[in-house]
Structure 1
């Protein structure tokens, strides 16, 4: 049995991993799908003060309170930003960090630093015009960016997206690189289609020694191809 902690990206919640969780549990693994502060069913706790440090504490606290060891930590999209700080805080509890279409930031960088200029501009404008200057509001445009094309899935996901604190996109991270590199690291690249905003993250991760896996689906891979995602993760548990 392997313990997995599956962490969602911006505007999502633990619910996004349900299909993958069920398959991993059916295979005998232990699976946690925490929801980050201010997201999903924890929307009631959303404030402008929530930042990257808040979400690092969320995951570090889960690892400690549940006394988890030899964990495969899977970070989707925005959650990739948490990798370095969580490794610094909890590397002794981790066997592997997986960026599943995740953003990879080096110490001193923030999320917007590793996104293309036009993407960063899009989010800044969205926050200024519709997010009261401090949160990213859910938008149907985002479903298109994430390659969610099935109308039934669009309705399901769209209804569950929650505002996301913009501070999480602008907070720079700081971490001891050696702690991150002490853990096995894997990058899962989604290829149909690729998300241009992830290009720099992928290149940097591979240059730093991340193993490279691919999945032929879009950005919300755990929803559009849960079976393959579960199989890739189970494969990591066996090697």
Structure 2
């Protein structure tokens, strides 16, 4: 039995996977949606980027999980990628869902120069937090009005320290068994480091014809892709 550990991106918590988890469990696997410190039901808990790495590693160890498929969406790809190398032989596969990937010595903000000023301005106006998106920000991503409303209502401000702390990698990510899911409404191709990593023989690219939040817009299709990675399949 594969154990999926699911981590959503900025502003979101474990609730974002509510329509994916039942699909994974119905197929006979474990599914553990994780809220990172400082977000959703853990709002108010102090958090940096290293805290989020430990959140993930700690959950795997606490539950004594093996044959683990780590799933990181958007921002969460950064802590998930670091956690993947820290859990050793417990790891079966890593899935990056339209996500950032960690770069040793780089932070979320330093690796996104075109967006840095916008995020820092939001943090300056919101006591060090990145303010959640509005309904207008979510348009054009394959979401229904109901899905957008759910996204906006559930989002909480994102702790700024998680965006500015640099990632720490012991070895290149290209050696890990990984799948990168590119959501085409959010750009035709993986950008930057993700594109380089996909040149590795250990990485695979899967495309979804939807927007940046497939756990809302196409949860069954996303679950089907994840199930294809059960047992560490490539």
Please confirm whether the aligned pair reaches a TM-score higher than 0.5, indicating the same fold.
yes
Normalised to the residue count of structure 1, the TM-score between the two structures is 0.89
Among 117, 121, 127, the residue aligned to 1:125: 121
Superposed CA deviations along residues 40-85 of structure 1, whole A, max 9, x for unmatched, are: 111142x3xx111101111111111111111010000011111342
The CA distance in 1 between the partners of 2:136 and 2:69, in whole Å, is: 28
Structure whose residues are more often helix by fraction: 1
Once residues 59 and 185 of structure 1 are traced to their aligned partners in structure 2, the CA distance between those partners, rounded to angstroms, is 17
Which residue in 2 is equivalent to 1:226? 219
Give the root-mean-square deviation of aligned CA atoms. 2.1
Q: CA deviation at 1:149?
A: 4.2
In the TM superposition, residue 148 of structure 1 has moved relative to its aligned partner by 5.7
Corresponding residue pairs, total? 231
Task: Work out the CA distance in 2 between the residues paired with 1:128 and 1:32.
Answer: 34
Following superposition of structure 1 onto structure 2, how do residues 1-239 of structure 1 map, counting pairs within 5 Å?
Answer: 1-45=1-45, 47=46, 50-115=47-112, 117-129=113-125, 131-132=126-127, 134-140=128-134, 143-144=137-138, 147=141, 149-178=143-172, 180-194=173-187, 199-209=191-201, 210-237=203-230, 239=233
Unaligned 5+ residue runs, structure 1? none
Q: Per the alignment, do residues 183 and 91 of structure 1 end up closer, same or farther by CA in structure 2, a change over 3 Å counting?
A: farther
Q: Contact 1:3 / 1:72 at 8 angstroms: preserved in 2? A: yes
Deviation beyond 4 Å, 4+ runs, structure 1 = none
1:55–1:142 Cα change, 3 Å = farther
TM-score by length of 2: 0.91
Structure 1 residue 27: Cα displacement: 1.1
Unmatched 5+ residue regions in structure 2? none
